[in-house]
Chain A
Amino acid sequence: MNSFFQRVIIEPLDRFLERVLYFLPNLFSSILIFISGIILGLIFKAIFLRFFRAIKLDKFSERSGMLEMLKKGGIKEPISLILSKLIGWLAIISFSILSLYSLDVPAIERVLERFLLYLPNIFVAALILFFGYLLSNFLGRAALVAAVNAGIKLSGLIGRLVKLTVFLLALTMALEQLGIGRGTIVISFAIIFGGIVLALAIAFGLGGRDIAKEYLEKKIKGEEKKDEINHL
């Protein structure tokens, strides 16, 4: 009975205690690394914020049009704060990963390894999406202004279409980067985009037949009265 009790209760408990004793220093060092990471992250954030302000990065971003781009993207914070926050978070994330590694648990290591390998994809996808959004706003507005100045009645629609197309393209690229439905997304995009173009072509062909005829007649016969104003 005694030996049974020894084998079933005491020995596993001993082994557990042994493992806990083996694991505890790792846990403490992991917590220490994690806390150091947070502190270092905050310090880095404060130092870099001062540094970026000292080199007048905000003025530069204002002059280069980057601030306007960010504002259009819904980001209202100054670039110095964004970058210093980013550096702070990078420090915290790096130390968090280090702290997890220091736990020396094979399962966590495997998960971390896969996560680390996938991380660049998330980063690149986020970047593509961010710049895609900014670019879609920029090109949509450029198309709108150009269409208005060309006197096209459907300028608003053209602007919105350009904006949507560019953003959809960026979204497709981002999803492809993440490996989500690789082939499907590209094909879907091609089908949707092709469909829109075909629909527009048919709509213009059927609905705008008379307008096109009138326009061509005007162009060829020169019926439209033109301005002779010299603006300069």
Chain B
Amino acid sequence: MKGIIFRKEAQERIDEIKEVDILIGIPSYNNSRTIGHVVRAVQTGLAKYFPEKKSVLVNSDGGSTDGTMEVVQNTTIEDFQSILLHHRVEPVLKIATPYHGIPGKGSAFRTIFEIADAINAKACAVVDSDLRSITPEWIELLIKPVIEGRFDYVAPLYHRHKFDGTITNSIIYPLNRTLYGKRVRQPIGGDFGFSGNMVKFYLTKDVWETDVARYGIDIWMTTTAIANNFKICQAFLGAKIHDPKDPGADLSAMLYQIVGSTFDLMETYSHVWTKITSSEPVLTCGFQYAVGLEPVSVNLDRMIDKFRLGVKELMGIWKEFFPPEIIDFLHKAKGLRKKEFHIPDDVWVEIIYNFAIAAHKKIINKEHLLKSLTPLYIGRTASFVIETWDSDASEVEEKIEQLCKIFEDKKTFLLENWV
């Protein structure tokens, strides 16, 4: 596979740096408002927890026009003494460079991997540039398991609002856990730690022209680590609060990229997941504590309207692969009032498995198929919101656990139809 060619300035910087112990990557696109805080947290984390290690911060930018890269270059902690009591402070090196390839998070990560490989980084982490809740401890929690515990991949574990991360909660976490047998709670969390070996392995894969180059990168990284038996763990990072994802980002495109990548990985690793019959917990590092979260506003009427519109107009597509029971159910659900609106777990699991089978059998164009999932996903999210309106965090977690169990129980249906 052909590697990417860095810009002259980036190449010169790489030649100067030669080798590092730790690399922290920050992908960005027009995040000048929040990236300063993230850079400061990273610098403090590296100075506080890894003062003796040679470290570099890499900003891989998607062509920001709001001065994001300048903010990265100019952000420094002026008064380390007030933050750190007596640690020796090594300067944190920086590389800020635009990435090449398909515009998207995955392409930004690829540049980070290439730089990590070029300067032979022993431990790496990536953190989102829109985080408002990142603290220096995140760097310790993502990097220490790699350096001291010899883990190859550290997935994040956060406390999130009960209505946050709905693609994770309703599709990706239960499905990934059922398929590969590891209970990684935030497989598409966005903030990960990983070893130099993991980076080298990622770079052997030729996936950068697919949806992995976009939002598919997170699930690809997690699944690749699990399916290839790398040593994995989770790190509890506290609350995840960040700016809303790119406001212009289209939900159906995002859903298509993430779910499409998950289904593509099912093809790649069918020899792995078809043999797995149960799931097991993954070691979690870090002290877990309760956190306060910002409220999330939900427009239920609009969500249910979108579901109804989908059932009315897209039934022609779904009829090609849904069994009659699901078709009947959807027709009935369309007529339900807001108070009664409910999509049960078992129906939802069957919907997802039928989509996976339809994608596998290439029944219709993949993009049309997966984008037609959007109204059903919105309906399911509305149902989840109604159901958990008065529930606290632990009750919601229990509800998600129940859903996971149904995913696991019905895996035989998936296996039987995966021909």
Contacts and interface: CB of A to CB of B under 8 A. Distances in A.
Interface string A154-195: 011001000000000000000000000000000000000000
Interface stretch (A8-16, A33-41, A207-215, A221-229): A221-229
Contacts of A147: 313
A229 B313 contact: no
Given A146-B371, A148-B375, A68 B296 contact: no
B219 to A, nearest CB: 10
Interface string A74-96: 00000000000000000000000
A68 B364 contact: yes
A62 interface: yes
Nearest to A72: B364
Interface in B183-203: 188, 190
B386 to A, nearest CB: 14
Interface in A39-82: 62-63, 65, 67-68
A153 interface: yes
Contacts of A100: none
A138 B365 contact: yes
B49 interface: no
Interface residues of B, number: 44
Nearest to A158: B313
B283 interface: no
B375 A226 contact: no
A19 interface: no
A232 interface: yes
Given A138-B365, A232-B167, A226 B309 contact: no
A128 interface: no
Contacts of A148: 306, 309-310, 313-314, 372, 374-375
Interface string B139-167: 00000000000000000000000011111
B65 interface: no
B164 A230 contact: yes
A142 B253 CA distance: 13
B313 A156 contact: yes
Given A62-B362, A232-B215, A144 B313 contact: yes
A156 B367 CA distance: 18
A229 B365 contact: no
B212 to A, nearest CB: 15
A204 B171 CA distance: 40
A142 B368 contact: yes
A141 B188 contact: no
B305 interface: yes
A55 B115 CA distance: 42
B367 to A, nearest CB: 8
Contact of A226 (B164, B245, B297): B297
Nearest to B364: A68
B306 A225 contact: no
A166 B250 CA distance: 26
Contact of B309 (A65, A155, A230): A155
A145 B251 CA distance: 13
Interface string B220-260: 00000000000000000000001011000011101100100
16 contacts: A142-B368, A145-B371, A146-B252, A148-B372, A149-B371, A151-B302, A156-B312, A224-B302, A225-B302, A226-B299, A227-B299, A227-B302, A230-B165, A230-B244, A231-B254, A232-B245
Interface of B: 163-168, 188, 190, 215, 218, 242, 244-245, 250-252, 254-255, 258, 296-299, 302-303, 305-306, 309-310, 312-314, 317, 362-365, 367-368, 371-372, 374-375, 381
Interface of A: 62-63, 65, 67-68, 138, 141-142, 144-149, 151, 153, 155-156, 159, 224-232
- Nearest first, the 3 closest Cβ-Cβ pairs linking A and B are A149-B252, A228-B297, A231-B167
